[in-house]
Structure 1
Amino acid sequence: MPRDFSRRGVMTAGLAAGAAGILARPAAAAADRPTTGGIALTHVTVIDPHSGRILPNTTVVIRGDRIASVHRGPAPQGATEVDLRGRFVIPGLADMHAHAQAEGIDPALNIANGVTTVRDMAGSPLARDWRDRIEAGTLLGPRYVLGSKIVDGSPSLWDPAFLDVVQVADAGQAREAVRQQQAAGADFVKVYTRLSRSAYRALAAEARQHGMSFAGHCPDEVPLEEAADLGQASVEHLFWTFFDTSFAERRLRAAIARIRLELGDYSGWFAAIHPLEWTAMNTHSGAKARRVFGALVRRRTRQVPTLAVHRGIDFARTVDVAADPRNRYLPSWAVEAMEFARQRFYLADRPVWTDAEWAAKFGRRLQVVGEMHGHGVPIMTGTDTGTVAVYPGFSVHDELALLVEAGLPPMAALHAATAEPARFLGSDTGRVAAGHAADLVVLDADPLSDITNTATVSGVVVRGRYIGPDERLRILAEVERIAAGTPAPAGQAVPAGCPCHAPLHPRPGSGAAG
């Protein structure tokens, strides 16, 4: 039976100060800028997903934090040459759905994996602190975009003991939540599953009035097409997609409206929504899908499928959290928290006899992502770090492989991890082109011949600073050292032994479809 997790215990816990050294030492070198001649990455094959261009035997010149030129020919006089013969350069990767976990862990693992842009989706004070230190030049890490606290309905799916969530019961509270989160410095409002339709519409109107975007889950009561029409910037995950594309949508939405949950009954939501989603998947209408996906295209509403976390949820019975070799880069409490989440949130109310349905659902998710891409829906990579079998930095490569498995060509998958996030954020990252930010990844093998080659990272350029193979390995070794020696955060209990299979709260009638 686990001890209770404290506030933000599963998704947003941060390590205590003992781990603070990981990037302070590498970051000290960030002030050591290249000579006036800059850095020249020579004899490299450039892959630029924005333009679709492939440029063999190319020289990329970096001065300060910008790309000065991309050309055939030798390094300019005075530049420090890095011979990358036989290697490939792509833009820095983006994780557009992340949750900060641990001081000394996440920023380092992202950079070591070539992830140079991260969108934090829960207003984490830890991520806010990282962003401030990165911008000040005292911490090496990716560019951070910060969401608000999660804005959910009342009662929320999240127990406040697990996550600092804003619960809104009506339109007035929804409008006030937007104002509060903007005043707190959030870059956008994060919307969640149990927002009522009236509260959601009020939130959208208030956000529009204040020039603030909103993104996140598509609430249970809100059709996906309506969310796009109201201006939701991105939709995370694929739990809601199939209701809009089902010819049984009216009956299914009536059943969804009957779902009643208590505060914190996260596992109860999965138990209630599963049979409805399974029915929706088996009543899929191509004609309805064309209409809904057309709305996403017209509104430029991005889809962040987070296939990596769907795989962990859909195969929660069989995923072996303890056996993943990447665990050595996480403190033991974080690995135990993943197992706690697997048992408490995803399996507590899941009958074994439904496992085959859950497995089949993942195949349907892959199919619908391919269908979305075929209709031109803009897709972005996101992982949902802090959930089962999802790791900072590493899981962006998992997500890319899953996008290709879903039917995206490798160049399109790379576009989803580079150019599309840059366009979404209005950033000058996401390209290998003169005048753009020098955020780049050096790969040992061609990702267009095999997308899993994005994991063959040998070097990274972040804000113009080149991190070569030796330094990258030192960063990983330091993360591993910290993960092995750092206790849980002060006041942060971790589960001991096998987590309890009981739900957080007893559930009244869940309102499953008849």
Structure 2
Amino acid sequence: MANPVAIVDVKVFDGEMVIPKATVIFDNGIVTSVSPGAASEDVRRDDALTVVDGQGMTLLPGLMDGHYHTSGELGGLQASIRMGVTSVFDTYTPEDKLAALRAQIGEEPDASYADFWSAGQAGNVPNGHGTRDPEADAIGSVGDIDRWLANRLAAGVDYIKLIAEPGFYPGMNTPSMDAELLRAATTAAQARGLPVIAHVSERRTAIWAIDAGVDILAHPWSGGVTPGMIEKMKRGGITVMSTIGVYTGMYDPEGPRSILQDPRLRTELDDTGVGRLTEVFEVPASSPRNGPELLALIGTLHKSGVRIIAGTDAVNWWVWPGVSMHRELELLVDSGLSPVAALHAATAAVADTFAIADRGRIAAGKRADLLLVAGDPIANIRDTRNIIAIWKAGQRVDRSGPPPTLSTN
């Protein structure tokens, strides 16, 4: 059995606050103590401990990607953990692929991939965004909701994703559930103990989702926000997933390409990853969205007291598992969050949103999902990219070898 590990004289962000210097000890996958101040000589000389000198470094909880798509690919989970993202929350994967991925993970070493939770099949009317595949299980009407939810429960989903997206992109005529269907599906899912994520992209559909009482809004939206919307969101405890990087990539190709200029991130990309980050999208002239507007919205919501959680929307165009979380943190700071608030949005806030109590914080009794970086991301958020070591449930993550490959089908 491996010795307990003591990381000494390290700056700690514990998911909520900063401890300028501390010793963190973990054993059997669990943090056993967090002791502020310089390490004692007894700790330094204890032969029963594996001591890691943390001077000049910062220890963070393992990062948590609140908006992710596994697409049934183990490689994305492997790419995530190599960049310190130890948990991801899948917001749509066809359930045949989900079952196959779960079976495959049962055969892999624990520390080789990020843990994940999933919504399985997203809910929308037939031929809508998320249900355009003829084999997709769609919601035809209010009377169809119970059947649809029974199928999700049978597939073992952890929460529900509903899509209120008339058109998807301006100029496209994809159908969508309306406000009445969204409300009915939300009420029925929550009655079964399933939290609800609503995909929105414009103020009209954001209002539908807020009025329906969903738990989480996926994506910033065009058209801004009113004081009344903010008040309802705060009263209802509604969280917003950031996903800024995927949208800024859509409108400003140089944003995701900046990842290629950083060797700390570039080495984690294969040719497929490079292709994803360099895609050019011709924005329809009628599109009301733009990068600055979405950044401003996230900043406004945060300053108004609405909970923001970090999510990348990988694997999509302009984002890639693991590396794009570090870009998302930078964009959260650009939107007006402090580095501490951005790191909170990628750790404890995600754990709280999804009610995952054993991680997201560094404290006695919590799981030892940890990210050790050189420098100080509290002063410079890009220092999260200076990865020294990663542990998942106390197991050291092996970052040697080439990055994993993804088919992105």
Q: TM range, normalised to the smaller chain? A: 0.7 to 0.9
Classify 1:220/1:447 alpha carbon distance in 2 versus 1 (closer, same or farther; 3 Å).
closer
Q: Which has the higher contact order (CA 8 A, sep 6+)?
A: 1
Q: Deviations over 1:168-226 (max 9, x none)?
A: 23111233211211111111111112222222122112212211111131387965345
| 1:180 corresponds to | 151
SS at match of 1:150: coil
Alignment equivalent of 1:238, drawn from 220, 228, 241: 220
| 2:93 corresponds to | 123
**In structure 2, C-alpha distance between the alignment counterparts of 1:158 and 1:417, rounded to whole Å:** 26
**In structure 2, C-alpha distance between the alignment counterparts of 1:164 and 1:43, rounded to whole Å:** 55
Classify 1:394/1:234 alpha carbon distance in 2 versus 1 (closer, same or farther; 3 Å).
same
Q: Please tell me whether the aligned partners of residues 290 and 375 of structure 1 are also in contact (alpha carbons under 8 angstroms).
A: no
**In structure 1, C-alpha distance between the alignment counterparts of 2:268 and 2:374, rounded to whole Å:** 22
| 2:246 corresponds to | 309
| 2:48 corresponds to | 78
| 1:87 corresponds to | 57
CA shift at 1:134, angstroms? 4.7
CA shift at 1:365, angstroms? 1.4
Q: Please tell me whether the aligned partners of residues 244 and 312 of structure 2 are also in contact (alpha carbons under 8 angstroms).
A: yes
CA shift at 1:78, angstroms? 1.0
**In structure 1, C-alpha distance between the alignment counterparts of 2:362 and 2:328, rounded to whole Å:** 22
**In structure 2, C-alpha distance between the alignment counterparts of 1:416 and 1:127, rounded to whole Å:** 26
Alignment equivalent of 2:237, drawn from 288, 291, 300: 300
SS at match of 1:168: coil
CA shift at 1:98, angstroms? 0.8
Q: Please tell me whether the aligned partners of residues 375 and 386 of structure 2 are also in contact (alpha carbons under 8 angstroms).
A: yes
**In structure 2, C-alpha distance between the alignment counterparts of 1:337 and 1:460, rounded to whole Å:** 26
Please give the residue correspondences for 1:467-506 in structure 2 after superposition, counting only pairs within 5 Å.
467=397, 471-472=398-399, 474=400, 477-479=401-403, 483=405
Q: Please tell me whether the aligned partners of residues 183 and 213 of structure 2 are also in contact (alpha carbons under 8 angstroms).
A: no
1:429 paired to 2:359: yes
| 2:141 corresponds to | 170
SS at match of 2:119: strand
Alignment equivalent of 2:5, drawn from 27, 39, 58: 39
CA shift at 1:371, angstroms? 0.8
Classify 1:61/1:137 alpha carbon distance in 2 versus 1 (closer, same or farther; 3 Å).
farther
| 1:446 corresponds to | 376
Classify 1:127/1:440 alpha carbon distance in 2 versus 1 (closer, same or farther; 3 Å).
farther
CA shift at 1:385, angstroms? 0.7
Alignment equivalent of 2:109, drawn from 119, 134, 138: 138
- What letter corresponds to residue 171 of structure 1 in structure 2? V
Q: Please tell me whether the aligned partners of residues 197 and 221 of structure 1 are also in contact (alpha carbons under 8 angstroms).
A: no
**In structure 2, C-alpha distance between the alignment counterparts of 1:103 and 1:333, rounded to whole Å:** 14
1:154 paired to 2:120: no
- What letter corresponds to residue 350 of structure 2 in structure 1? P
**In structure 1, C-alpha distance between the alignment counterparts of 2:402 and 2:105, rounded to whole Å:** 18
- What letter corresponds to residue 44 of structure 1 in structure 2? V
Would you say how many aligned residue pairs link Structure 1 and Structure 2? 386
CA shift at 1:337, angstroms? 6.4
Classify 1:53/1:128 alpha carbon distance in 2 versus 1 (closer, same or farther; 3 Å).
farther
1:414 paired to 2:359: no
1:404 paired to 2:333: yes
**In structure 1, C-alpha distance between the alignment counterparts of 2:109 and 2:241, rounded to whole Å:** 31
**In structure 2, C-alpha distance between the alignment counterparts of 1:322 and 1:443, rounded to whole Å:** 20
| 1:9 corresponds to | none
What is the alpha-carbon root mean square deviation over aligned residues? Answer: 3.0
**In structure 1, C-alpha distance between the alignment counterparts of 2:13 and 2:396, rounded to whole Å:** 18
Alignment equivalent of 2:195, drawn from 213, 221, 232: 213
SS at match of 1:149: coil
| 1:53 corresponds to | 18
Q: Please tell me whether the aligned partners of residues 230 and 301 of structure 2 are also in contact (alpha carbons under 8 angstroms).
A: yes
SS at match of 1:373: helix
Alignment equivalent of 2:27, drawn from 54, 63, 68: 63
CA shift at 1:109, angstroms? 1.7
Q: Deviations over 1:241-288 (max 9, x none)?
A: x26x3xxxxxxxxxxxxxxxxxxxxxxxxxxxxxxxxxxxxxxxxxxx
| 1:499 corresponds to | none
| 2:387 corresponds to | 457
| 1:98 corresponds to | 68
* Identity level (%): 25
**In structure 2, C-alpha distance between the alignment counterparts of 1:83 and 1:320, rounded to whole Å:** 34
Larger radius of gyration: 1
- What letter corresponds to residue 67 of structure 2 in structure 1? H
Q: Please tell me whether the aligned partners of residues 236 and 304 of structure 1 are also in contact (alpha carbons under 8 angstroms).
A: yes
**In structure 1, C-alpha distance between the alignment counterparts of 2:227 and 2:217, rounded to whole Å:** 17
Instruction: Structure 2 unaligned segments of length 5 or more: list them.
Output: 166-175
| 1:496 corresponds to | none
SS at match of 1:154: coil
1:200 paired to 2:182: yes
CA shift at 1:418, angstroms? 0.5
Q: Give the structure with the larger helix fraction.
A: 1
CA shift at 1:309, angstroms? 0.6
Classify 1:65/1:363 alpha carbon distance in 2 versus 1 (closer, same or farther; 3 Å).
same
**In structure 2, C-alpha distance between the alignment counterparts of 1:120 and 1:458, rounded to whole Å:** 27
